[in-house]
Amino acid sequence: MNAETKAQLISIGSVNMDPSLIHRLTIPTAGPGAGNLAFFFNSGGHRVRLAVKSGSPLLAEMENGELVIRKEDIEIARGGIEDELIHCPDQAFVTMCEKCIFDCTFCPVPKLSGKVKSMEQMLKMISDAHLSGKMKAISITSGVEESPEHEVTRAEELIYMLRERYNVPIGVSVYPTEDSSRRLKVAGADELKYNVETMDREIHLRVCPDQKLEHVLNALKEGVEIFGKNTVCSNFIIGLGETDRSAERGIEELVSIGVVPILRAAAKHPLREGEVIIERPSAQRLLHLNHYLRQKLDEYGLRADTFETMCLPCTGCDINPHIDL
Ligand code: SF4
């Protein structure tokens, strides 16, 4: 699999295959892909997470111990299925709260009424992951159960406890509060993610009515000052109706403040049918915008391949411009 094939797989996002081929089933509980059955496919050093859907135009079958993906009978990739540790390979990636009081119109989480994990449950999950000998990093994310302050306090408490127990990088992604960057850093976090979701101001107002983009941007800026260069990233959804020019402006704005954007392909979810316009980006569009991102990262002296936690080293859902291109 090369970058072009990976872009094609991300653009389609799913394969039709026998789910029993997956040893450990992945059903993400956070973000736009929440609730879908998915697995990690690795080929030629590139990784992609694919949903399993009977209606997919791609067919995946096992042949001599390899998973072969075909489109209209033509082979497009061949590789292996990777086991996840917690949520993704090599990491204990824990979602503290699987509910959200925010109501971003692309996201199914507010409609899924998921669980809230206790500290004991999370510590046990991470301890089990550590005992497997495969845990290279710990990542923590969350929806918003009561308030952003409440999530920051829980993340802070958890990170203090994890820092005492484990000597691996810790990444954290929450909705920012006034002092979240400083508190999470003091607690022992190494990397930070605050998601802008989209950098198109007009679209942001419509699709993230409970979030304030300028607040997130200010927090990102301060996050870079506190955490340092190449440690702060942000999910940037592509396919919410923004133009390439708008996406490019947004990429440059983030990179210019020291933030590494993660260009995430917008995904349709049946629970959000009719509430939002999703134009899943084509492989060409993903490649174009990621080439632009790489150019900007290089220009501003930032790297996407030095992160050790969360989505940038995972690469399951996105093209990492310094790993995949
Ligand atoms: S890229 Fe991020 S959201 Fe996707 S599987 Fe990896 S860790 Fe999860």
* CATH value at residue 274: 3.20.20.70
Position in ligand 1 atom list of the atom nearest CA 87 = 8
pLDDT value of position 21: 86
Residue 47 domain-assigned (yes or no): yes
Distance between CA atoms of 106 and 2, rounded to whole angstroms?
Answer: 29
12 with 109, same domain: the answer is no
- Whether residue 93 has its Cβ less than 6 Å from ligand 1: yes
Q: What is the pTM of this model?
A: 0.95
Distance between CA atoms of 275 and 46, rounded to whole angstroms?
Answer: 34
Distance between CA atoms of 141 and 8, rounded to whole angstroms?
Answer: 28
- Whether residue 49 has its Cβ less than 6 Å from ligand 1: yes
171 with 301, same domain: the answer is yes
Residue 147 domain-assigned (yes or no): yes
pLDDT value of position 26: 56
76 alpha carbon, distance to own chain's centre:
25
164 with 44, same domain: the answer is no
Q: Atom 5 in ligand 1: which residue has the minimum CA distance?
A: 316
124 with 214, same domain: the answer is yes
Residues 3 and 319: beta-carbon distance below 8 Å: yes
Summarised one tens digit per residue, pLDDT across range 3-30 is: 999 999 999 999 999 988 887 655 555 5
Domain boundary among 28, 51, 82: 82
- Whether residue 227 has its Cβ less than 6 Å from ligand 1: no
Give residue 146 CA to ligand 1 midpoint distance, Å. Answer: 25
Q: How many domains does the chain have?
A: 2
pLDDT value of position 113: 80
- Whether residue 155 has its Cβ less than 6 Å from ligand 1: no
Give residue 311 CA to ligand 1 midpoint distance, Å. Answer: 5
Tokens 């994990």 locate to 117
16 with 103, same domain: the answer is no
190 with 61, same domain: the answer is no
Position in ligand 1 atom list of the atom nearest CA 318 = 1
Give residue 156 CA to ligand 1 midpoint distance, Å. Answer: 22
Domain boundary among 14, 48, 82: 82
Residue 323 domain-assigned (yes or no): no
pLDDT value of position 22: 82
164 with 243, same domain: the answer is yes
DSSP 3-state percent helix, strand, coil across the chain (nearest 5):
35, 25, 40
Q: Atom 4 in ligand 1: which residue has the minimum CA distance?
A: 317
- Whether residue 194 has its Cβ less than 6 Å from ligand 1: no
Residues 247 and 238: beta-carbon distance below 8 Å: yes
Domain boundary among 82, 102, 130: 82
Residue 322 domain-assigned (yes or no): no
- Whether residue 313 has its Cβ less than 6 Å from ligand 1: no
Give residue 47 CA to ligand 1 midpoint distance, Å. Answer: 10
Position in ligand 1 atom list of the atom nearest CA 310 = 7
Encode burial over 215-244: b for 16+ CB neighbours within 10 A, e otherwise: ebbebbebbbebbeebbbbbbbbbbbbbee
- Whether residue 311 has its Cβ less than 6 Å from ligand 1: yes
pLDDT value of position 31: 54
258 with 183, same domain: the answer is yes
181 with 45, same domain: the answer is no
Q: Which residues form the domain of 305?
A: 87-314
pLDDT value of position 61: 96
Residue 320 domain-assigned (yes or no): no
- For 238-267, give the DSSP string: E-SS--HHHHHHHHHHHHHTT-EEEEEEP-
pLDDT value of position 24: 60
95 with 78, same domain: the answer is no
Look at residue 323 and give its three-state secondary structure. Answer: coil
Show the low-confidence residues of the chain (pLDDT under 70).
24-36
Residue 321 domain-assigned (yes or no): no
pLDDT value of position 25: 54
12 with 97, same domain: the answer is no
58 with 195, same domain: the answer is no
Residue 319 domain-assigned (yes or no): no
Residue 150 domain-assigned (yes or no): yes
Position in ligand 1 atom list of the atom nearest CA 38 = 5
